[in-house]
């Protein structure tokens, strides 16, 4: 697994003001005052077979998500626009960037609506990058 701190730091340097890791993710009742808010969550790893005999050298795909939460107390029709704007900004900031522990750039996998409540809407941006596991 790759550490998520470089992803959090990269998003903060990209201009987002409220970015935290999975352990800091609030419940809907504890939403941060600073919306939009981003939460980086490791999702899955999948490894290819080793390419070397006698040694372990596997390409590993590390998938992670950035949950983008916006408030719903905006003018009518503005919530969708604000969510789209923030999701696009996350994609523009992270897709194509290389995690310091990875062997390649971050790729976009897709996204989905993660949560809707009276106070907020959350969209999950799914991403991945690859690294080598060597032993």
How far is the C-alpha of 38 from the C-alpha of 32, rounded, in Å?
10
Question: Domain holding 68: CATH number?
Answer: 3.30.2000.10
**Strands, sheet with 57-71, edge to edge from the N-terminal-most edge strand:** 19-21, 37-47, 57-71, 120-134, 107-116
How are the residues of the chain apportioned to helix, strand and coil, as percentages rounded to the nearest 5?
25, 40, 35
pLDDT of res. 73: 80
How far is the C-alpha of 31 from the C-alpha of 119, rounded, in Å?
9
pLDDT of res. 135: 86
Contact 70, 120 (CB under 8 A): yes
Domain residues for the domain of 68 are 4-134
Return the bridge partners of 44, or none.
Answer: 63
Contacts of 128 (CB under 8 A, 6+ apart): 61, 62, 63, 64, 106, 107, 109
Contact 74, 82 (CB under 8 A): yes
Report the number of distinct structural domains present in the chain: 1
Mean pLDDT, contiguous 10-residue spans, the chain (135 residues): 95 94 62 80 93 84 96 82 96 98 97 92 97 91
pLDDT of res. 26: 54
């Amino acid at each position: 697994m790759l550490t998520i701190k470089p992803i959090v730091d990269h998003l903060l340097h990209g201009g987002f003001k409220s970015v935290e890791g999975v352990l800091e993710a609030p419940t809907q009742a504890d939403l941060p005052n600073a919306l939009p808010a981003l939460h980086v969550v490791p999702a899955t790893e999948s490894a290819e077979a080793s390419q070397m005999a006698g040694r372990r050298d596997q390409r590993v795909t590390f998938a992670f998500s950035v949950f983008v939460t916006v408030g719903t107390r905006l003018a009518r029709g503005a919530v969708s626009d604000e969510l789209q704007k923030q999701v696009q900004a996350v994609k523009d900031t992270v897709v194509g960037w290389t995690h310091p522990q990875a062997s390649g750039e971050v790729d976009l996998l897709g996204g989905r609506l993660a949560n809707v409540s009276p106070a907020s809407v959350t969209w999950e941006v799914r991403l991945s990058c690859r690294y080598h596991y060597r032993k």
